[in-house]
A and B are shown apart, each in its own frame.
Chain A
């Protein structure tokens, strides 16, 4: 019985047919979803708008956040899902990008940068790019020693790194006189991004910008996964000693992917800074790192497509609980939604341990296989006059 029908034409061409069709479906679903929601919100046909349709649940603001988290999660999935290296400190890189952009676009004068530079429209973009490079370089230097650790030890080390960065941001990088990071209060009045005189604001424009970057990052992520680097990451995950035995420089590869994931987090951080126009250290603490890991797991670790869907699912779930829990259980207060969130996470992780995307894909394949089997049984019984 042929339960697994593979498109052999594609296979004979040497194309990984399964990966190809999956990526195609992924792009299609995402474009349709976002395009549809964005269109409703921007055009507002017949006095409809997204918040009206969804009872205030979905807003462009929220979808923009999904895009930002997706950028971080693509990096985190490469690191955790593919290479199998846990990071409980990813928010540190997110914060580094955010504060790098925030500081260099608001305090340029105090840092002695001439106005001809810092007032130019491309300055913020340059800072964003430089932030990625700097954060990536930092991550590489941190990664070389700590990625020698494995499992829980690596988790502890990255956690420690996250705490250090958080404290540094909170304590003005240990130089209070300069007041660079603004301490607890953070940095305010971050300018909007511009292209020439075209300001990328209000949120409708920013939504398009963020998702432009997000799609770019998803495409880059998919390309890396399907390249020699992607295979090396999976090899390291499966067996480090076997990867070494065929000539893979394991430690260097791990530090490289750590740096790449940090650079992506930094990009998202910079975009976040210009989105919120204000950043505070509290946003980039351990809680945020943990939430990133949760999004990553919910979406599906070893899948680039898990990133957007994980971010979307978790943000939606939190928003639902925040707004709807009081309707269902009147009189509940405070931390109750955190409990409900926790319970739901446990349910998701038990029923779909590989995350939503992989879990649903598998459920669909099982359903299809069962249907084919049923049909074949029926066909084989027909000549016997049985039904």
Chain B
């Protein structure tokens, strides 16, 4: 069963076709990677699916519900979350508080409860703290829970961003270049984390340049070039696809054959 279905999706920026009739499906529980040269439209695709940008045409469906026209926070509340290529942790908060914001939609107490610190608010706040801490345990950041998020290393901020997204209990998480700028050891941790998410039943869509990571964990890979899908299949199929090799190495300068 498909959790995400994108049909003939187009996005135009002025005269530039950033995405052109892209169609793909993501099955529930799989790890789906999107690769392609710089400027291929990968991040634009994330921005459309997450509601950050409106689509020019085409359809996006999550659990059969149409996503077109929904606002980013509405999409997130439905269990489809994303992370950012440029890390966006809340540097003015502690690590724990970052994750607690991620659980905002799972809390209910109102402004009045908060202002008067009524029992409802206090009880929920306590539960919230525990839930957030559990997410930090999952990614291994629990020991640094009370530190400022700005004090974390770049790699740890990426991990924190993932933990914050996981706090929503998503069914589908979209990771935008989670491995960029990470050390080798950190990439290995990331690899394990993504596999653990899959075991928990979370569908993972990731954009990534680190081929070792992608080919190692992805169930299926889609390749974009100049806004168009040029290939899709298992890592092995994609690796031996001539159009993909041409796109990455340049067919004109290095004819393959």
Q: Which residues of A contact B (CB under 8 A)?
A: 6, 11, 14, 16, 220, 223-224, 227-232, 234-235, 237-239, 241-250, 256, 260, 302
Contacts and interface: CB of A to CB of B under 8 A. Distances in A.
A237 B105 contact: no
A9 to B, nearest CB: 14
B16 interface: no
Nearest to B79: A247
Interface of A, secondary structure class, is helix
B92 A237 contact: yes
Given A220-B115, A223-B114, A247-B77, A238 B92 contact: yes
Interface stretch (B164-172, B181-189, B249-257): B164-172
Interface string B105-126: 1010101001111000100011
B165 A238 contact: no
Contact of B114 (A228, A235, A242, A302): A228
Given A14-B126, A260-B111, 14 more contacts: A6-B146, A14-B129, A227-B114, A228-B128, A231-B101, A234-B92, A238-B88, A241-B52, A241-B84, A244-B76, A245-B81, A246-B165, A247-B76, A248-B101
A231 B124 CA distance: 14
B111 A246 contact: no
Contact of B92 (A250, A256, A302): A302
A231 B88 contact: no
Interface string B207-240: 0000000000000000000000000000000000
24 contacts: A223-B117, A227-B109, A228-B128, A229-B111, A229-B114, A231-B97, A231-B104, A234-B92, A235-B101, A238-B90, A239-B88, A242-B88, A244-B52, A245-B52, A245-B76, A245-B83, A245-B88, A245-B165, A246-B76, A246-B81, A246-B165, A247-B73, A248-B104, A248-B105
B91 A238 contact: yes
Contacts, number: 106
Q: On chain B, which size bracket covers the interface?
A: 35 or more
Contacts of A249: 71, 73
A246 B104 CA distance: 8
A234 B111 contact: no
B249 to A, nearest CB: 35
Interface centre among A6, A228, A244 (most CB of B within 10 A): A228
A-B CB proximity, top 5 nearest:
A227-B114, A242-B88, A247-B76, A247-B105, A244-B72
B167 A11 contact: no
Contacts of A231: 93, 97, 100-101, 104
Contacts of A224: 111, 114-115
Interface in B78-96: 81-84, 88-93
A240 B91 CA distance: 13
Nearest to B109: A228
B203 interface: no
Contact of A245 (B72, B126, B129, B146): B72
A241 B115 contact: no
A239 B104 CA distance: 15
A238 B150 CA distance: 11
B77 to A, nearest CB: 4
A235 B92 CA distance: 8
A246 B82 CA distance: 8
Given A246-B81, A246-B165, A232 B115 contact: no
A244 B126 CA distance: 24
Interface string B56-74: 0000000000000001110
A243 B101 contact: yes
B84 A245 contact: yes
A39 to B, nearest CB: 30
B84 A242 contact: yes
A14 B100 CA distance: 13
A374 B115 CA distance: 43
A135 B14 CA distance: 43
B29 interface: no
Contacts of A260: 111
Contacts of A250: 73
A89 B73 CA distance: 29
A248 B105 CA distance: 7
Contact of B104 (A6, A232, A237): A232
Nearest to B108: A228
A227 B76 contact: no
A27 to B, nearest CB: 15
Contact of A228 (B81, B107, B126, B146): B107
B41 interface: no
Nearest to A4: B147
B76 A223 contact: no
A227 B101 CA distance: 10
B93 A234 contact: yes
B92 A246 contact: no
A231 to B, nearest CB: 5
A293 to B, nearest CB: 20
A195 to B, nearest CB: 22
A228 B132 CA distance: 13
B161 to A, nearest CB: 8
A247 B90 contact: no
Contacts of B129: 14
Interface string B141-159: 0000010000000000000
Contacts of B178: none
Nearest to B149: A238
Given A234-B90, A238-B90, A242-B84, A247 B168 contact: yes
B73 A242 contact: no
A242 B76 contact: no
A21 to B, nearest CB: 14
Interface centre among B91, B101, B168 (most CB of A within 10 A): B101
B136 to A, nearest CB: 13
A71 to B, nearest CB: 14
